[in-house]
Amino acid sequence: MTAQEIRLCGLLLQEHFGEMVEKVGTHLLRSGAQNLRTIVQETNLSVDLVKKCLCVLVQHGACCFTSGRKGPGSPTEYRACCDRILRVLRYPRYIYTAKTLYGDTGELIIEELLQRGHMTMSSTVKTVADRLTQNMEEGHSMDYSEVSSTFSKLVETHFLQRCPPVGGAGTSGSAAPAAATSAAAAAPAAAVGVAPPTPESFPECYSVPHVSLIGRGKRQLVPENGEDQRNAKRAKMDTETHGDEGIYWQVNFERFHQHFRDQAIISAVANKLDQTSSEIVRTILRMSEVTTSATAACTKPLSANEIFRSLPASYNIPRHILDQYLTLLVDDPMEFVGKTGESGGGMFVVNLHRALANLARATIESIVQERFGSRSARIFRLLLRKRHLEQKQVEDFAMIPAKEAKDMLYTLLSHNLVQLQEIPKTPDFAPSRTFYLYTVNQLPTARMLLQNCYKTVANLIERRLFETKENKRLLEKSQRIEAILASLQASGAEPEQLSEVEEMISAPEKQQLDVLKLHVNKLDSAENQVDETVFVLESYVSSTSTS
């Protein structure tokens, strides 16, 4: 991992889990796998505090643990997972996708699992039902069965998966997270294999257990003095079983990434061709979304007859028109759709890796155009298409004056977007007898731009934290006044009282708050937009390594 990735991971850990967890996590990222004693010595933190930090990291999948390198009996070693920590940046997108596909219930299920790392199905259903009931009108409540149904749909479509059993024993208790207690974080070596198992490595990864859960969500009353302690004791004494004890669930990030990739491909086809073509591609992707692995180069082959039967009824496309659209998609230079056979009217696949390469190429071209102008982008696209060109050829093909073309090529070369390749005619490498060819290597360029994106996101987060810290007093005052107003409104206060409380913030302070909210919203929006670019480049780089 690079310095930019470590810096971004540290900022994400600090923002979501606090400074102590950030210190332990960053140390593991820089140092690699280490045992508990070494971590305590090198971070200068107490043993108990390090254990708690490791518990948090393991609970959220940001740290994995394995048996020591010296064999059985050696101290357990902990390793931070950089890729998993970077997924925190995409949490809002996961939650929004769940809301789009499965409504408010799906949104809250994903939100709870992201906040807590992993939970049992019964615990998740109860928590989500209570939260939904809290937002309903008086006298209405959410039934547990409705939340359970949405949970099952998320599992069926692989957006949720079981946590892998720690010991691999296959018992229900073995699936319990190893970080449930600090003792487990201190010495789980006896139950740990050489490498942590993956969820897909055991057959019950996507099987929903039978949960005996009957009831409706409950409203949370405002606790009186001492009520918090009584509620905590009551929660500890609650020994009701639901049949899923020890079976924990987590969010399947790869499935969400697969959905994001499919949506990007569909959008690209719609922009390149038309809406009907994108709907045909959407149908192919939907039919093979569960059967196609995350690293597959293309989807499972589907016949034209199957595609025709699965098209939405609202489109009502005749069969001969569908054949024409499929031919158009296969013949398109982007090669999003390929033909693998003639049976059943033709067998068709979506070329996933080819599509990702084209999406990454369009992203890189867009970045070059935004930073260096349309003429530089023209030269860049020309080099992508022609592979190798001399400077004179670039001037002629791009129809740009020699002086301007030379300056643009040098600018692109200095930013490592273009490479210069020397091909000598003779062994002495004399300049007069050497060809100097400009070229673009898409994969190294994508990797470099990906690191720039990580740096950009880290800068945005630091700026947002700085803005919040500078206006901390004003934000706290605003929150106090909002809390007072909420309590007065709940108790039925008169408008005069409410206006009197609102006047506690002066007009300049209100203006300053509005400016701060505007800046923070812009920074949040910029983070999400950069993350979309990060996703495309990450997916492309990952696809090249798997292929």
Report the distance separating Cα 82 and Cα 65, nearest Å.
14
Query: Mean pLDDT of successive 10-residue segments in the chain (547 residues)?
Result: 91 92 93 90 91 93 83 83 93 94 93 91 89 78 86 91 66 37 38 53 79 72 50 52 80 92 92 88 87 84 87 83 88 86 81 92 94 92 90 88 91 91 79 84 93 95 91 86 82 78 82 89 93 94 82
Cα–Cα distances (Å) from 317 to 271, 310, 313, in that order, read 20, 11, 9
Cα separations in angstroms, 40 against 15, 49, 69, 385: 22, 9, 19, 54
Residues 149, 126 contacting (CB under 8 angstroms):
no
Q: Exposed (0-12), middle (13-18) or buried (19+): which is 399, by Cβ within 10 Å?
A: exposed
The candidate with the shortest Cα–Cα distance to 517, out of 482, 481, 471, 473, is 471
Task: Show the 3-state SS of 412-459.
Answer: HHHCCCCEEEEEECCCCCCHHHEEEEEECCHHHHHHHHHHHHHHHHHH
Distances (CA, A) of 520 to 10, 442, 454, 460: 20, 34, 19, 10
* Joined tokens for residue 86: 């970077």
Residue 94: what pLDDT? 95
pLDDT at residue number 346 = 79
Three-state DSSP class for residue 339: strand
pLDDT score at 231: 52
**CB-neighbour burial class of residue 386 (10 A; exposed 0-12, middle 13-18, buried 19+):** middle
List the one residue out of 351, 358, 302, 311 whose CA is nearest residue 330: 351
Instruction: In whole angstroms, give the CA distance from residue 336 to residue 231.
Output: 57
Residue 191: predicted pLDDT: 37
DSSP state of 332: S
Asked whether the CA dihedral 206, 212, 218, 220 is positive or negative, the reply is: negative
The predicted structure's pLDDT at residue 192: 38
Tokens standing for 179? 């970080």
pLDDT the model gives residue 229? 53
DSSP state at residue 351: B
Beta strands in 323-444 (DSSP E): 337-341, 347-350, 419-424, 434-439
